[in-house]
Amino acid sequence: MRREMEMMRILRVPPMGKMVVEIQKHRFEKLAELEGDEKAIRIINAAIGELVSFAGGYQALVDAGVAPALSAPSSARDAVTLSAKQAAFLAQLEAEQEALRQPEVKEVKIPEKLTIAPLSAKAVAPEQKTLTVVEQIDVVLQRLVKQAPDFNSRSLNIIQNPAGGVSIDVDGKRYPSPDAVKDPIAKALVKKAVAEWETA
């Protein structure tokens, strides 16, 4: 029996959706916070490398618009190591998180006689949630499931695992990848959803 090991958890923390990495119940916002802890840095670098591999390589992330393109010429690009790709990808993620941060709002004392107009409905509307890649593919999958008469009244979802990676849920049973799904209709629908998402 294989023994599974949770290497780390990636969480988005409200209210700003800040990404944090949790290792052995300790949370970090930046890789720099782990300076001196070589073991934790190796765990994160290895996990990022495996996620890049899981996504189909670094170029697949560039094509999806979630990672910066490498500016080196083709001959030099071939020589770029995996750790350099990891560092570039991590830098992009950190830049996105920095853009989400807003300056700290200082408390202002409001005079008692000041009249404040009510906020318009537009001003208090909740922010629209940005879907992850997995959620975007699942949206395409749900549309295909509704259009498949052979799959009527059944459930099929692509789910992001908290510990990393994805699962395919077919009628409540989970599989680690599309190829592991035994139901041919479910497998075909998942692969079609991924293909449609890639060409969108």
Q: How far is CA 8 from CA 15, 120, 150, 162, 163, in A?
A: 22, 42, 39, 9, 6
The answer to whether position 61 is within a domain reads yes
The answer to whether position 121 is within a domain reads no
- Mean pLDDT for 53-60 is 82
Cα(96)–Cα(166) distance, rounded to whole angstroms? Answer: 23
pLDDT at position 28:
81
Q: 15 and 86 in one domain? A: yes
Higher pLDDT, 109 or 53: 53
The answer to whether position 125 is within a domain reads no
Q: 92 and 31 in one domain? A: yes
pLDDT at position 92:
74
Cβ proximity of 197 and 136 under 8 Å: yes
- Mean pLDDT for 57-81 is 68
pLDDT at position 139:
92
The answer to whether position 148 is within a domain reads yes
The answer to whether position 109 is within a domain reads no
For residue 27, list its beta bridge partners. Answer: 22
Q: How far is CA 175 from CA 155, 187, 188, 195, in A?
A: 14, 10, 14, 19
Which one-letter amino acid corresponds to residue 46? Answer: A
Q: 82 and 29 in one domain? A: yes
Q: 15 and 79 in one domain? A: yes
| Residue 44 banded pLDDT, cuts 50, 70, 90 | confident
Query: How many CB atoms sit inside 10 A of residue 55's CB?
Result: 16
Among residues 52, 81, 100, which one ends one of the domains? 100
**Residue range(s) defining the domain that contains residue 165:** 133-199
Q: What letter would DSSP give residue 121?
A: T
pLDDT tens per residue across span 142-156: 898 888 887 778 888
Query: What total of structural domains would you count in the chain?
Result: 2
Residues 6 or more apart in contact with residue 6 via CB below 8 angstroms: 163
Q: 91 and 25 in one domain? A: yes
Euclidean distance between the first and the last CA atom of the chain, given in angstroms as a whole number: 40
